[in-house]
Structure formats: C-alpha cells, structure tokens
C-alpha cells in the first residue's frame, strides 16, 4: 500500500471533505484521527488513511445519525476488527506455507 | 443504471422523508466499511449512494422527475468520483490505525484493552515552516500536535533554519517534543549572521550626486540617504534592522543604467557627459594598471 500513500494539507482535507478547519481540529482533539505530524495549515500532515477515516466519520455522523459519544466506540471497534482481520489473514497465510 | 426509486426499494410516490429513511437504512446495511472486502455490498452501496444523489434532496429529485438528469452521465460521474474506503487503507496490515490493535508480537489482550497512545514514548520530532521575517524578529505560533494537544511555540529572534526547539515533557507519556524549524528564504533579503543584506538598484545620477530613496526593511520601508559618489558593491548600513536587538541591515548598491532602447541616453546627454569627462578625467582601473 505504500506506493499509494498520499499526503494532504489541512486546506486540502477541508476542501475534499467540506469540513471546516475547526472541525478537523475537533476530530484530532477527540483522537478520532491521529495525523503523523503537527497540523499546520500548509504542512502535508495527513495521509490517505486519515482522509478515508474522516469521510467514514462524516458518514457515521451525517448519514447514520450517530452522535459524537458513539463515534469513538465505533472507531475503536472498527480498529479492532481490522487488527484482528489482519492477524487472521496473516496466520492463515503462515499455515499455508 | 437502476432507477433510483427501485434502488432504494421505493416507488416514485415516496415522500422525501421516506427516501431519507430508506437511504439511511440501506446505507447502514451495505456501507463498505461495515462489510470490508465484500464486493457485492460495495456495488450495492454505490447504487444506493447514486440514488441518494439523484433523489435525496427535494431539489435534485425535482430535476430527476422532470427528466432533466442524464442518469448515464450521473452514473459515470459517480464512477469517476470513486473514493478509497477506510477499510481499504487498513487492508493487510497496511494501516496505522488497525495495526495498533493487531496482536503481532504483543499479548492480544494487552493490545485490545490498551490505549493506542501507550505505544509511543520516544521523543517526538515535528517540522515547522517559518517565514524569513518571523525567524529574524521572533514570533509566537500555535501548533496542534497529532494527539490534539495545542502547543505554543515561541520563536526566539535570529533562529537559524534547521534548529530544533525542545519542549520538555510535552509529548505522550512525558516524552520530549522537538520542533525543527525550516526558515524560508526571502526574495529580497539575504541573511548574514545577525545582519541582513539587500541589493538596491540606483541610477548613475543618484550614485553621482546622492539621493534619498525608499528602502524596504523587515518592519516596513524607511528613507535612506545615499551620499554622493557611491559605487556598485558599496554597502550602506541601516542600523537595527537585522535580527531583532542584535543586527543591522546592509544595503548593497548596484548602479543600473537605462537600457539602450529606452531612449533615455540621447545625443545631448552623451555630448554633455563626454565634455564633462574630458574636463574631469577619472580612470577607475588606474590602480590595477599600476600593479601590472
């Protein structure tokens, strides 16, 4: 996946998602997203993973009507799901070898 | 492309509220992030999303119902806008977020119930771009760290590019934070330690008889008195306009003549200069010639 890794500035993320800078900061403060470097307006501080995660959060909020209190619970469970999914895939591959 | 009403399991008689409810219900069921890797769910979600774009708002729906929307075009546009879903970024251990919950070498229960933050304890280094002016005069900048914490960075006047500022115990788990500064170049000024230099173009007549000219500095323009008979390369000092409290600005003179095509150097002027030079001979190369 590394070859598809793209980086975005705060401006670009706001433009792409329609979020205000304040809301992106809110997502960071809530630890819903965790950019790889300090968030400065011009700095390419977020990657495609952060961007996809922001879009998912937006859909959870806007389309699914999920409130702010439930967002971290869902993200936490999704993160666990991916962690476990990857572990299962990995051990399945190791067993096949 | 499927009729958007059918895609949402409705008829054209559905109310706007029913459309909204049907979309939400189906989106929850088929969202690709809730069905990672399930291609048919993803295709169905795209269909639902497309339908929502077409009839999800009263305005869009009116357009669609009047037959003003080219559904093929809308579908092609939706294809073009195809986005990367979150689960795709986490696939096969590629993602940072999912990885922090992967058992890996650690005990699975520790990673399930432990906080993501616990994995970070080393010093943290962040990079920050800085204006030339802010680096010379000092500034205060607020940055937001990935943890969401805001940090006020006080930039001391005269800091050089590449220098790191340390913030003890401000990081996760009491780690130190370093902010490395990258100072931008200035199109006008060149830094020379605590001083800065500016090249100033003046005309030959200003160089000969002197003049008072406007000169930019970091804190705005000032009037500079150019004494008579300055030469190219000569430096004039503007005190206190370099690094705040420490340096000066030097103005390097550069004599610039009008171009031949401008017509400023007419025959009358040439004749006058020739006559004057004859009466006041001056050879700027005389010293060089003596040493040869």
Picking from A14, A16, A45, A86 by the largest number of B CB atoms within 10 A of its own CB, the best residue to mutate is A86
Query: Among residues of chain A, what percentage have pLDDT more than 90?
Result: 31
pLDDT for res B15: 93
Contact residues, chain A, for B96 at CB < 8 Å: 34, 36, 49
Q: Which among B95, B104, B129 has the least Cβ separation from residue A42?
A: B129
pLDDT surpassing 80 at residue B105: no
Q: Which among B84, B88, B128 has the least Cβ separation from residue A40?
A: B128
Contact residues, chain B, for A52 at CB < 8 Å: 83-86, 88-89
**A43 with B93: Cβ contact below 8 A:** no
- Interface check for B140 against chain A (CB to CB < 8 A): the answer is no
pTM of the model: 0.52
**A82 with B96: Cβ contact below 8 A:** no
Read off the pLDDT of residues B166-190 as tens digits, 9 standing for 90 and up. Answer: 888 888 777 888 888 889 999 999 9
pLDDT surpassing 70 at residue B11: yes
Residues 14-33 of B with CB under 8 A from A: 23-24, 27-28, 31, 33
pLDDT surpassing 70 at residue B90: yes
pLDDT grade, residue A4 (50/70/90)? Answer: low
Query: Among residues of chain B, what percentage have pLDDT more than 70?
Result: 89
Rg over CA atoms, chain B: 35
Higher pLDDT, residue A87 or B14: B14
Contact residues, chain A, for B21 at CB < 8 Å: none
pLDDT grade, residue A5 (50/70/90)? Answer: low
- Interface check for B245 against chain A (CB to CB < 8 A): the answer is no
Contact residues, chain A, for B126 at CB < 8 Å: 37-38
pLDDT surpassing 70 at residue A32: yes
pLDDT surpassing 90 at residue B19: yes
- Interface check for B86 against chain A (CB to CB < 8 A): the answer is yes
pLDDT, mean of residues B206-211: 93
Higher pLDDT, residue B254 or B119: B254
pLDDT for res B102: 63
Instruction: Encode B232-252: b = buried (16+ Cβ within 10 Å), e = exposed.
Output: eeeebebeebbbbeebbbbbe
As a whole number of angstroms, the distance between CA B7 and CA B34 comes to: 19
pLDDT, mean of residues B32-42: 89
Nearest CA in chain A to B101: A83
Residues 142-171 of B with CB under 8 A from A: 143-148, 151
Most confident of A26-40, B77-91, B212-226, B263-277: B212-226
CA distance B235 to chain A (A): 37
pLDDT, mean of residues B116-132: 69
Residue B258 in contact with residue B265, Cβ under 8 Å?
yes
pLDDT grade, residue B275 (50/70/90)? Answer: very high
pLDDT, mean of residues B49-58: 91
CA distance A27 to chain B (A): 8
Higher pLDDT, residue B130 or B93: B130
- Interface check for A59 against chain B (CB to CB < 8 A): the answer is yes
Read off the pLDDT of residues B66-86 as tens digits, 9 standing for 90 and up. Answer: 888 877 777 777 776 677 888
For A84-91, the CB contacts below 8 A with 24+ separation are A84/B101, A84/B102, A84/B103, A85/B36, A85/B98, A86/B90, A86/B91, A86/B92, A86/B93, A86/B98, A86/B99, A86/B102, A87/B102, A87/B103, A87/B104, A87/B108, A89/B92, A90/B93
Residue tagged 């005990």 (tokens): B107
pLDDT for res B118: 38
pLDDT surpassing 50 at residue B259: yes
Q: What is the mean pLDDT of chain B?
A: 84
**B89 with A64: Cβ contact below 8 A:** no
A/B interface, count of CB pairs below 8 Å = 126
pLDDT, mean of residues A41-70: 88
β-pairing, B195-202 vs B249-255, is parallel
Higher pLDDT, residue B199 or B37: B199
pLDDT, mean of residues A58-80: 90
pLDDT surpassing 60 at residue B114: no
């Amino acid at each position: 996946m590394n070859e598809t890794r793209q980086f975005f500035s705060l401006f670009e993320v706001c433009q792409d998602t329609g979020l205000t800078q304040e809301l992106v900061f809110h997502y960071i403060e809530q630890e819903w997203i965790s950019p790889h470097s300090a968030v400065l307006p011009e700095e390419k501080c977020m990657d495609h993973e952060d961007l996809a995660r922001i879009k998912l959060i937006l859909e959870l909020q806007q389309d699914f009507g999920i409130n702010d209190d439930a967002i971290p619970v869902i993200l936490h469970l999704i993160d666990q799901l991916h962690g476990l999914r990857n572990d299962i895939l990995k051990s399945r591959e190791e067993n096949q070898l | 492309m499927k009729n958007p009403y059918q895609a949402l399991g409705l008829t054209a008689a559905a109310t706007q509220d029913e459309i909204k409810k049907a979309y939400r219900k189906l989106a929850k069921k088929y969202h690709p992030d809730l069905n990672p890797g399930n291609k048919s769910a993803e295709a169905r979600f795209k269909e639902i999303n497309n339908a929502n774009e077409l009839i999800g708002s009263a305005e869009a729906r009116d357009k669609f119902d009047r037959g003003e929307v080219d559904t093929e075009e809308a579908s092609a546009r939706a294809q073009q806008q195809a986005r990367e879903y979150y689960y795709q970024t986490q696939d096969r251990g590629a993602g940072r977020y999912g990885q922090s919950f992967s058992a890996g070498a650690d005990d699975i229960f520790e990673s399930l119930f432990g906080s993501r933050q616990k994995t970070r304890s080393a010093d943290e280094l962040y990079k920050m771009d800085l204006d030339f002016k802010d680096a010379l005069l000092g500034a205060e900048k607020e940055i937001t760290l990935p943890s969401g914490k805001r940090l006020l960075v006080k930039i001391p006047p005269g800091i050089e590019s590449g220098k790191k500022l340390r913030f003890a115990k401000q990081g996760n788990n009491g780690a130190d934070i370093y902010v490395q500064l990258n100072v931008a170049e200035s199109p006008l000024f060149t830094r020379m330690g605590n001083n800065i230099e500016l090249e100033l173009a003046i005309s030959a007549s200003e160089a000969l008889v002197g003049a008072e000219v406007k000169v930019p500095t970091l804190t705005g323009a000032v009037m500079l008195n150019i004494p008579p008979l300055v030469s190219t390369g000569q430096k004039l000092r503007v005190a206190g306009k370099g690094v705040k409290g420490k340096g000066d600005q030097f103005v390097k003179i550069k004599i610039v003549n009008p171009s031949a095509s401008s017509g400023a150097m007419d025959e009358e002027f040439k004749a006058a200069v020739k006559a004057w030079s004859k009466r006041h001979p001056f050879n700027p190369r005389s010293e060089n010639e003596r040493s040869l």
